[in-house]
Amino acid sequence: MISRIGQWLVLVLFVACIAMAAILIRTRQRAHDRLEAPLTSSVPLSQTPDEPRVSVTLMMPDDKTGSLDPISETLALPQDESARAQALIDQLIASWRAPGSPHPIKASAGVDSVFLMPVPGEPGSQLAIVNFDAAFPLAQPSGIEPETLTLLSIIQTLHENIPSITEVRFLVNGQPGATLAGHADLMRTYLAESTVPGSKS
Amino acid sequence: MYPPAVRSLSRKRSCVSAFHSIPARPRMRFADFFRCAALAACFFLVLAVSAQRVNNTHPMFQTVSPLGAASNFVVVIDAAHGGSDLGARLSPALDEKTVTLALARRLRSLLAAHGISVVMTRTGDTALPMATRAGIANHAHAAACLILHATDSGVGVHLFTSSLSPAPRPEIPAWGTAQAGYIHQSVRLSSDVDAAFIHTTVPVIVGRTFLQPLDNLTCPALAIELAPKPSSTLTSAKSVDNPGYQSTVLNAIVTGILQWQQDWSHQP
């Protein structure tokens, strides 16, 4: 025979289990909503007419001279830094696709997303994680020089317009890749300060 | 006449008794000894043949050591890509791996003709892991390591050294930053090769990059990328594959290496 106290104890534990399950389900749902929030247009990823237009500097690579040439443009950029970084790279890649570009790249390839996170031990510094889409390595001309210029152009453009970005890492389709298109190393973190383009003689 | 079961039993008994009746133990020992000796002879024969084959085929042992060569001035040539790793697709019929191997073979001959010992990381269409390439180069204790690439982007010749920051050479270098202790020498080597192109019409772009296995090499190292001939009437792929253009570039590289040989011999 179970005592009266034992019966109450079982009942209380049962109610506690139900309540904890409900809290867990609710918390999971909120975390899921929070993760999906940027994808459901709470933050604009492309420039909108409402955003203020600002002057930006794009570091345009030139395959024939092996250099990066600064080009000034006026863009409407979003306030969020991650979205701004992605808008800058989108604009840069669009300029590579333009006819007569000194660093041509095939169409329909670009960047899926850009994430910014603080650099541990360096307050004010940010690490940008640039996630190329799966088509980008195929569209990128293969070679040490064109691949190096692609990476340097993105790194220097980000650092020029968002100085807090001091380090950049690259992913392809969400995964770390060994190389961009068979040459430039993607397994390391690039420091914006120490990456310099080549010189022609 | 016995029934069949009894006959079988009697045959077994006779066999057992016959076995026990012969003094078999000493004869078995001799047979075992004979078999072991024969087996050991076969084993050593197979080992000797394998060693001979490794000596003949492994790229690490493919050293061209001409008579009169400076014994310790060794140049490692790494023809990039190979096997299933095609590299850049220069044209529908021409892959980067084919061009780099052809360039490497010609460069080996030219350097050997000048009395320089050469080690090739690959001599055929084989896929080699980056670690193996670096291992072959590092074991050669080379005075110069040249990594050959080709592309259809840009023009002329691209010379790349590692982007690693210069650092003192530790006794046991870290794999990912092994080249850091050789950056100054690599830049000097790059400068010598760059200077050798002055007398040609081929433009040279000098830069720094993060490239495997360049960062893992414990020798003065340089990645040389052949790009199309400037203002050529040929398509970029035909231009890169053009024997005359390749000769001009390879001769300049050899001139640069000969200059580096002099600089290297004056170093402490």
Judge whether A136 lies within some domain.
yes
* pLDDT for position B67: 43
Contact A180, A140 (CB under 8 A): yes
Per-chain mean pLDDT for chain B: 82
Asked if A100 and A173 sit in the same domain, the reply is yes
Asked if A25 and A57 sit in the same domain, the reply is no
Question: Which chain B residues are within 8 Å of A139, Cβ to Cβ?
Answer: none
B248 vs B201: CA distance, rounded Å: 9
Judge whether B135 lies within some domain.
yes
Residue in B with minimal Cα distance to A196: B208
* pLDDT for position B8: 47
Judge whether B175 lies within some domain.
yes
Asked if B151 and B208 sit in the same domain, the reply is yes
**What would the DSSP string read from start to end of B3-63?**
-HHHHHHHHHHHHHHHHHHS--HHHHHHHHHHHHHHHHHHHHHHHHHHHHHHHHH-GGG-E
Asked if A22 and A83 sit in the same domain, the reply is no
pLDDT digits (tens, 9 = 90+) for A18-52: 999 999 999 999 888 877 765 544 444 555 556 78
B132 vs B60: CA distance, rounded Å: 10
Per-chain mean pLDDT for chain A: 88
**Does the CB of B182 have a partner CB in chain A at under 8 Å?**
no
Asked if B68 and B151 sit in the same domain, the reply is yes
Asked if B105 and B33 sit in the same domain, the reply is no
- The reply to whether residue B225 touches residue A141, judged by beta carbons under 8 angstroms, is no
Asked if A16 and A78 sit in the same domain, the reply is no
* pLDDT for position B46: 64
Residue in A with minimal Cα distance to B210: A185
Beta strand segments in A80-194, E: 111-118, 126-132, 165-172, 190-191
Name the β-bridge partners of A57: A72
Judge whether B30 lies within some domain.
yes
Taking alpha carbons only, the member of A137, A140, A117, A141 closest to residue A129 is A117
B217 vs A135: CA distance, rounded Å: 32
**Does the CB of B165 have a partner CB in chain A at under 8 Å?**
yes
- The reply to whether residue B81 touches residue A182, judged by beta carbons under 8 angstroms, is yes
A36 vs A49: CA distance, rounded Å: 24
Residue B13 has pLDDT above 80, yes or no: no
Neighbours of B193 (CB within 10 A): 25
**Residue B110 to chain A, least CA–CA distance (Å):** 25
**Confidence band of B255 (pLDDT split at 50, 70, 90):** very high
B13 vs A137: CA distance, rounded Å: 81
Which of B154, B204, B212 minimises the CB distance to A146? B154
- The reply to whether residue A144 touches residue B160, judged by beta carbons under 8 angstroms, is yes
Judge whether A46 lies within some domain.
no
pLDDT digits (tens, 9 = 90+) for B51-94: 555 444 444 444 555 544 445 899 999 999 999 999 999 988 89
Q: Which domain holds residue B89?
A: 63-265
Give chain A's residues under pLDDT 50. Answer: 40-44
- The reply to whether residue A196 touches residue B208, judged by beta carbons under 8 angstroms, is yes
Q: How far apart are the first and last CA of chain A?
A: 97
Asked if B67 and B112 sit in the same domain, the reply is yes
pLDDT digits (tens, 9 = 90+) for B183-226: 999 999 999 999 999 989 999 999 999 999 999 999 999 999 99
B208 vs B159: CA distance, rounded Å: 8
Mean local confidence (pLDDT), B241-257: 95
A88 vs A116: CA distance, rounded Å: 14
From residue A26, give the alpha-carbon distance in Å to each of A21, A34, B104, B185.
Answer: 9, 12, 64, 62
Beta strand segments in chain B, E: 63-64, 74-79, 89-91, 94-95, 117-120, 144-150, 157-162, 204-209, 221-226
Which of A146, A179, A198 minimises the CB distance to B206? A198
* pLDDT for position B1: 45
Asked if A130 and A61 sit in the same domain, the reply is yes
| Sign of CA pseudo-dihedral A29, A30, A35, A40 | positive
* pLDDT for position B266: 80
**Does the CB of B227 have a partner CB in chain A at under 8 Å?**
yes
Question: Which chain A residues are within 8 Å of B211, Cβ to Cβ?
Answer: 144, 183-185
Higher-confidence residue of B45 and A21: namely: A21
B227 vs B221: CA distance, rounded Å: 19
Judge whether B8 lies within some domain.
no
**Residue A87 to chain B, least CA–CA distance (Å):** 26
Backbone angles phi and psi of B143, in degrees to 5: -85, -20
**Confidence band of B11 (pLDDT split at 50, 70, 90):** very low
**Does the CB of B163 have a partner CB in chain A at under 8 Å?**
yes
Please provide the size of chain A in residues: 201
Q: How many domains does chain A have?
A: 2
Asked if A24 and A103 sit in the same domain, the reply is no
B212 vs A27: CA distance, rounded Å: 45
* pLDDT for position B256: 97
* pLDDT for position B61: 43
Cis amide linkage into residue A123, ω under 30° from 0? no
Asked if B45 and B79 sit in the same domain, the reply is no
Residue B176 has pLDDT above 60, yes or no: yes
Residue in A with minimal Cα distance to B148: A144
Q: Which domain holds residue A156?
A: 53-191
Asked if A22 and A113 sit in the same domain, the reply is no
